[in-house]
Amino acid sequence: MTIQTKNDQSDPGLNFKKEMQTRHIVMLALGGVIGTGLFLTSGYTVNQAGPLGAVIAYIIGAVMVYLVMVCLGELAVQMPETGSFSTYATRYLGPGTGYTVAWLYWLTWAVAIGSEFTAAGILMVRWFPDTPVWIWSAFFAIAVFLSNVVSVRLFAETEFWLSLIKVLTVITFIVIGGGAICGLFQVQHLQGAGLSNFTREGLFPTGLLPIAMTLLAVSFAFSGTELIGIAAGEAQDPQTSVPKAIRTTVVRLALFFVGTIFVLATLLPREQAGVIESPFVMVFELIGIPYSADIMNFVILTALISAANSGLYAASRMLWTLSDQGHMPKRYARLSRRGTPVNAIVLSMAGAAASLLSSVLAPDTVYLALVSISGLAVVVVWMSIAASQIAFRRQYVANGGRVEDLHFRVRGYPWVPIGALLCCLLACVGIAFDPEQRVALYFGLPFIAWCYFVYWITRKKREERLALAAAAHHSAGAA
């Protein structure tokens, strides 16, 4: 059974360049995940859930990512489209759901991009105290914009090398931290050696509920793996590169994140882990590595630029998808000669600027709502991927397709997608018990309802827009 995709159209103005190699896709996913959530806020999980609870939370997060990614893999290999999970949700769960998923994901990255540029500017002031933050923020914004606009190849290469710096830093941290745990390095100011942090206050000093309460933060830390699905539409050989990228990425992320959190939980007392600026810096300083703060300042800077780079890529592809489906003016689906959606990139940058402006003018209202929605959006998008895979498999088999013919298939169906749905649901339920995270539900659920409402009231205009586009395309073909 063959499924045609929109990326197969003959019109060159609608086709993306197939320039993504396997190494690009792997590093794009790793780069999208390994960011400030790991380098700066990972100590929060240790503080809230305790050392053992944090390790368990990240193991659950790794399992959740694996379940979601194999579901996405089956869909992306069979239908390698730039719209990815938004297109799948439109096709198998309904156009309203696809519309909502696209806007949720776009908003997630638009909010993140603005904050990344601000944080990058602040970090540069550490080395250049006489320069204003906005100059550096503008400099990095221009660099990221050019990386995305010039060509897909330039974006992929830039992201590859930025991500490589982060990956090497995490590996170094785990190796050095593991050596300190085993007594190979002399560590200062620790209350005990070995695994004493895990038993000093009892196995679960804050109880079991905080494990579920931190799952949303853990899920957000793992967000970015789904970029593999978006990149599949621009991959040179998606049937080969996407499965390899998924297997490689999931295994590495599980090792990196669980290994990192184990080192942090072992070396840092729980009471200090959640209040320090960067747990990485503190561990390096305890081990006695010189210039630890400057080293991590550079690494975190690359993490911020990398996150903004991949975020702009993802956000622009979501706008392209919305335009391609008739939800937005057709100009946002136009591609440059080099195969980049320039108009969608420009609008995504404008959205990031608006988010950044709201953080200054309305931090306790508008910006709080945006951040809350984006935090919940990741879990909702993952749920849509699992649900789409279930619906796709049912339709595929009902239409006479053989499961054995799928180039990449979910083994253990339907328990794998059901498990993914349950893990995501557990994360949503867990935040209901955390007063600090509960605001994500207060803003996120109404926003989802609003997206469905807007889709419903604009359906006639969308149908007219698609009809006009089809007529124009037919006329051009006849000519």
What would the pLDDT profile of 413-432 be if each residue is shown by its tens digit? 899 999 999 988 888 887 78
Residue 10 has φ and ψ, to the nearest 5°, of: -80, -20
The answer to whether the CB of 62 falls within 8 A of the CB of 254 is: yes
Q: Whole-angstrom Cα distance, residue 117 to residue 352? A: 9
The answer to whether the CB of 348 falls within 8 A of the CB of 308 is: no
pLDDT at 3: 39
Residue 340 has φ and ψ, to the nearest 5°, of: -115, 140
Helix axes 366-398, 439-457, angle to 10 degrees: 60
pTM: 0.85
pLDDT band at residue 243, thresholds of 50, 70 and 90? confident
Helix axes 84-92, 95-127, angle to 10 degrees: 160
Query: Does residue 414 have a cis peptide bond before it, meaning omega lies within 30 degrees of 0?
Result: yes
pLDDT at 396: 93
pLDDT band at residue 194, thresholds of 50, 70 and 90? low
pLDDT band at residue 474, thresholds of 50, 70 and 90? low
Q: Whole-angstrom Cα distance, residue 272 to residue 471? A: 64
Q: Give me the CATH topology for the region 22-468.
A: Amino acid/polyamine transporter I (1.20.1740)
What are the CA-CA distances from residue 23 to residues 150, 305, 373 (Å)? 20, 19, 32
Give the rounded distance of the alpha carbon of 410 from its chain centre: 22
Give alpha helix (H) positions in 93-208: 95-127, 133-150, 152-181
* Nearest residue to 257 via CA among 306, 299, 311, 218: 218
What would the pLDDT profile of 104-145 be if each residue is shown by its tens digit? 999 988 888 888 888 888 889 889 988 988 899 899 999 999
pLDDT at 384: 95
Residue 67 pLDDT more than 70?
yes
What's the DSSP call for residue 198? G
pLDDT at 473: 56
Residue 156 pLDDT more than 60?
yes
The first and second tokens of residue 108, run together, are 């997630």
pLDDT at 173: 87
Residue 342 pLDDT more than 90?
yes
150: Cβ contacts below 8 Å, ≥ 6 apart: 338, 340
The answer to whether the CB of 416 falls within 8 A of the CB of 71 is: yes
